[in-house]
Structure 1
Amino acid sequence: MDRIVAAEVFVAIVERGSMIAAAEALDMSRAMVTRYLAQMEHWAGARLLHRTTRKLGLTDAGSETLARCRQMLDIAAAMPAPGTADTGSPQGLLRIACSQSLAQAALAPAVAGYLRRYPRMAIDLQIDNRAVNLVEERIDLALRITNALDPNLIARQLGTCASVLCASPAYLAAHGTPRRVEDLALHDCLTYSYFGKSLWQFTRAGETVSVPVSGRLSANESVVLLAAVLEGAGVALQPRYSAAPLLASGRLVALLPDSLPQPMGIHGIYTSRQYQPAGLRALLDYLVDWFAGDSRWLELTQ
């Protein structure tokens, strides 16, 4: 963990009187403040704060650590920010976590453009569909597609992911074509296992319609479900960016054009708004512009 940020967090806790107030002042999640304090106590090898239901108080070790933290922050404040001392162009390494499907369709081409614009930056992509712990795994940015983002997370919406309901011609020939969203209850629906119980939401005639669905196959990666729907395993709700080429070729058929699946937000998740490397700030701005205007992405989502 970053010792400078940890020192800033510890000073904020002491000056503000609580971890909740420190989190608000630093625009950081409460869980992250707790982790930084635990790490400070690990480094010090002692408890730094007396915790009661009413207030926090410094231990002897905490008083000594507070003085050292303030000294460290004074020294850090006198130094130029990383990546700005020479030409003002960001430099350094960013570690990004992303799912396989979004990485292939969007992140890889977007990152290539970013690296051309900022030649002193480097990026390490971590392709995984699970929710990562940014601090423990040293991830600078995690991309996630969801409409149910944890309010305690620090995030910025980068774009929108449109979805499409689809099936293979072979499946439809064998099982019939659903005419209304309510008909999905009669079909094998391929579900995304991270969602728990599957409730697919659509907009029909200006109103939101929620439909519980079930099926015999679920997976935690949309790429796997896409391969299964191509083999006739059932009906799937897929990101349009993944299904678009298969719809154009006729290998998949879009269903229920009068009932549009609810779009989902593409979010960038990071540890703090206030303490961002210049390269991360530049990447967030670049991704917002890329999702809004790159012709390749727009062709896959319209």
Structure 2
Amino acid sequence: MNDPAGSGVGTMEDLNYVLTFTRVVQAGSFAAAGERLKLAPSVVSKHVAKLEKSLGARLLQRSTRKLSLTDAGSAYFEHCARIVEELEQSQHAVARLQAEPSGKLRVSSLNSFVDAVVAPLLPEFFRRYPKIELEIVTNDRTVDLAEEGFDMALRLAHAPGPLLVARKLAPIHFVVCATPEYLARHGTPQHPDDLRGHNCLGFPSPLERNFHFLRDGEAFTVPIAGNFRVNNINALRTVLLAHAGISLLPTYCIGPDLAAGRLVAPLRGWYGSDATSVYAVHLPNRYGSPKLRAFVDYLQQCIGDPPYWDRGLDISKGAA
């Protein structure tokens, strides 16, 4: 056994022998050590003998009445006791981490989802898990988890992406919405085609020049025009609530507004065909992380099935 530190520990088998020797000294006999280690006394004796052979030194004086340490054994035991104590402390540290999630958790997410869904849930999360330090970075792009140092991401997508461990948290539905005041002034559309005459507010991307719908499997696309586009759902919702237009938004952002009557969804039977889901995704090497599992489990528990923002809304009919 070549151990530059001089402890005599070179392999996992050697570590087992060190543990056995330490327990023999602490217990005072092979039989008592065997009871603690759940090993037969003969096995305990063989472990100590193999350790002595590998060290080339006798560690214990054996007699019919008692065991005693040799000079070499006494010096060696001091090192072994420290090794075993540190091993036990390491095991306790791991057990504590498993029992109480802790440490920094770095998360990427779409800004609007954090504002509408995640942020209101955080005070209770921190009460439950006071040792987790949560860092959320919001953006509108798909981040590289490994390259950019994220533990996980909350993604709104049709599919979570390859090479990732994913858990679906909730479906995301889109509905046309406006305030009752806006509709009273400009008329209530009965069909997606009626949106051609409305101030349709949307997003800056060229792909957003149309609204896409489904009803009973029937797809319909209508070109839209309006005087305001912004790449922020929360800003768009604020403008809508000021009676400035009509838009197609996800219910996680406007569900409470629909339930309270601040917004209405006039196109009964039609809903956005760009429906996606929100996924919690992470790299396979993060599987089993207590802090990550605690956060994802908590979100799923709070969101529920169906998600809390859709409860009381008949999404298929487009209105509360």
Q: TM range, normalised to the smaller chain?
A: 0.5 to 0.7
- In the alignment, what sits opposite 1:122? 133
- In the alignment, what sits opposite 2:168? 157
CA-to-partner distance for each residue in 1:111-153, whole Å, 9 max, x for gaps? 4443333333221122334433433432222212232654465
* Structure 1 segment 238-277 matched on structure 2, within 5 A: 238-262=249-273, 263-270=275-282, 272-276=283-287, 277=289
Give the AA of the match of 2:247. Answer: A
SS state of the match for residue 190, structure 2? coil
- In the alignment, what sits opposite 1:144? 155
CA contact (8 A) 2:173 2:271 kept: no
* Structure 1 segment 161-240 matched on structure 2, within 5 A: 161-193=172-204, 196-204=207-215, 206-216=216-226, 217-240=228-251
2:300 pairs with 1:288: yes
CA-to-partner distance for each residue in 1:222-275, whole Å, 9 max, x for gaps? 1111112223332111222332333344432221122233442012232x1243
**Alpha-carbon offset, residue 94 of structure 1:** 0.4
Q: Structure 1 197/244 Cα, relative in aligned 2: closer, same or farther at 3 Å?
A: closer
Root mean square deviation of aligned Cα: 3.3
Q: Aligned equivalents of 2:91 and 2:248: distance in 1?
A: 45
Q: Aligned equivalents of 2:185 and 2:264: distance in 1?
A: 14
Give the AA of the match of 2:294. Answer: A
Q: Aligned equivalents of 1:254 and 1:178: distance in 2?
A: 10
Q: Structure 1 197/150 Cα, relative in aligned 2: closer, same or farther at 3 Å?
A: farther
CA-to-partner distance for each residue in 1:132-176, whole Å, 9 max, x for gaps? 343343222221223265446553321122332111334323432
Q: Aligned equivalents of 2:241 and 2:303: distance in 1?
A: 27
Q: Structure 1 83/170 Cα, relative in aligned 2: closer, same or farther at 3 Å?
A: farther
Percent identity for Structure 1 against Structure 2: 32
Using structure 2 for the length normalisation, give the TM-score: 0.58
Q: Aligned equivalents of 1:144 and 1:252: distance in 2?
A: 26
SS state of the match for residue 121, structure 2? helix
Residue segments in structure 2 that go unaligned for 5+ positions in a row: 1-88, 315-320
Q: Aligned equivalents of 2:91 and 2:149: distance in 1?
A: 20
- In the alignment, what sits opposite 2:22? none
Of stretches 288-297 and 224-233 in structure 1, the one that deviates more from structure 2 is 288-297
Q: Aligned equivalents of 1:82 and 1:128: distance in 2?
A: 39
CA contact (8 A) 2:177 2:265 kept: yes
Out of 94, 98, 101, which is 1:88 matched to? 98
**Alpha-carbon offset, residue 93 of structure 1:** 0.7
How many residues are treated as equivalent by the alignment?
222
Using structure 1 for the length normalisation, give the TM-score: 0.61
SS state of the match for residue 192, structure 1? coil
Residue segments in structure 1 that go unaligned for 5+ positions in a row: 1-78
Give the AA of the match of 1:236. Answer: S
Of stretches 242-251 and 88-97 in structure 1, the one that deviates more from structure 2 is 242-251
Q: Aligned equivalents of 1:165 and 1:98: distance in 2?
A: 24
User: Which structure's relative contact order is higher, taking Cα pairs within 8 Å and 6+ residues apart?
Assistant: 1
**Alpha-carbon offset, residue 294 of structure 1:** 9.2
Q: Aligned equivalents of 1:81 and 1:131: distance in 2?
A: 38
Of stretches 190-199 and 101-110 in structure 1, the one that deviates more from structure 2 is 190-199
